Structure 1
Amino acid sequence: MHFIHKTGQAIEEVFDDLAHLRIAVFRSFPYLYEGSLAYEKAYLQTYTKTKRSFLFAAYDGDRMIGATTCIPLEEETAELRQPFEEAGMDVRTIFYFGESILLPDYRGQGLGHRFFDEREAHARSFGTFQTACFCSVVRPETHPARPHDYRPLDEFWTKRGYHREPSLQSHMEWPDVGETTSTAKPMVYWLKALSPTTA
């Protein structure tokens, strides 16, 4: 296994790998994402428009098996900035963490922690960001596609120092697996203070 990191426009060099990985991982519950390469590449363009964006990826041979991204919140889309702006928070001090995705066969080996470590270190390297955040989809407990053995990542995120902030929510649209029409999904944010001494 080997690792790569890219920033800004260079992230475009691995768009195909990242798009295929996102589609594969997000197809499972709770995202149930019926993805397309065209949509993925349009979405990922946001990361090429700023030098401060970051990608860290793991490869097994020539196959991307895990990846994570982050970008200053002020350079993200309006739908992601909106709940923070409405709450009176300064988006210039917040770093947004995008996906943290890993194929099932490679989980449980510490890569999830490595992905958070890399993103937090990148955000701290600028010396101006006070908070890291990410969002997760909210699905009902009774959702028919919820596996009986499904375990949410809330405990993992909490141990990493993040707290769920129900007052901060966005809605994102995508088609669920087996559907052709996009529907809005509620996304709740998790936050963590980015002090220089935080491990």
Structure 2
Amino acid sequence: MIQTRILTGNAVGEVLDDLARLRIAVFRDWPYLYDGDVAYERDYLTAYQSPAAVVIAAYDGARMVGAATGAPMEDHAKDFAAAFAARPEPLEQIFYCAESVLLSDYRGHGLGHAFFDGREAQGRALGRRYSAFCSVIRPADHPLRPADYRPLDGFWRKRGYAPLPGVIAGFDWKDIGAPAQTRKHLQFWMKPL
């Protein structure tokens, strides 16, 4: 039986290695195609030990099989301020639903809803008016796109999210099989809380 746990502060610090390994495993798949390493991931994830941040972790027994991270948007201002510069919503009113990772064998059992429910609840508890996340933009004809890939747009729309026209961030990471990092673009989606 899968159980979810809401982790904040020091509790996040206790699972950083598990969370880092899980992210690397899941993000190797489409659409991220991420060739990451545990040291970088662990360092990146320390930001989620902030008292306002949250990790919703899914466990099958003692094994972490999925997780979703979230934090106040201003904690990511250096990355996202430019993308939101033309928007009327101040970053301080937005809760950022960062990454969701779930091993493929555990998909389709409602954990995606549990991940969003937990992060949106944290946003409301902080008095945020909006919840936002971003999705990787990859071309439909990308050679590594699986033939059976089904985008999550329908799931996100059912939860009330909509893409924000022109609100796109750029990040660099190394794709699997690539010699170096390249720029990727991410589309922001948002909804009122």
User: TM-score, normalising length from structure 2?
Assistant: 0.95
Q: CA RMSD in A?
A: 1.3
Separation in 1 of the partners of 2:44 and 2:77? Answer: 10
Gaps of 5+ in 1: 195-199
Q: Which whole-Å deviations, capped at 9, do the CAs of 1:88-128 have from their partners, x for residues lacking one?
A: 531110000111111111111111111111111111112x2
Does 1:101 pair with 2:101? yes
* Per-residue deviation, 1:23: 0.6
Q: Which moved more, 1:132-141 or 1:4-13?
A: 4-13
Identity of aligned residues (%): 48
Gaps of 5+ in 2: none
3-state SS of paired residue (1:5): strand
Q: Which whole-Å deviations, capped at 9, do the CAs of 1:20-39 have from their partners, x for residues lacking one?
A: 11011110011000010011
Contact kept in structure 2, 1:21 and 1:64, CA below 8 Å: yes
Residue 181 of structure 1 is matched in structure 2 by 180
3-state SS of paired residue (2:190): strand
3-state SS of paired residue (1:19): helix
Residue 44 of structure 1 is matched in structure 2 by 45
Across the two proteins, how many residue pairs are aligned to each other?
A: 192
Residue 197 of structure 1 is matched in structure 2 by none
Does 1:150 pair with 2:149? yes
Contact kept in structure 2, 1:55 and 1:68, CA below 8 Å: yes
Does 1:7 pair with 2:21? no
Residue 82 of structure 1 is matched in structure 2 by 82
Q: Which whole-Å deviations, capped at 9, do the CAs of 1:55-97 have from their partners, x for residues lacking one?
A: 1101112210011110000112511232113435311100001
1:44 partner amino acid = L
Contact kept in structure 2, 1:30 and 1:139, CA below 8 Å: yes
1:103 partner amino acid = L
User: TM-score, normalising length from structure 1?
Assistant: 0.92
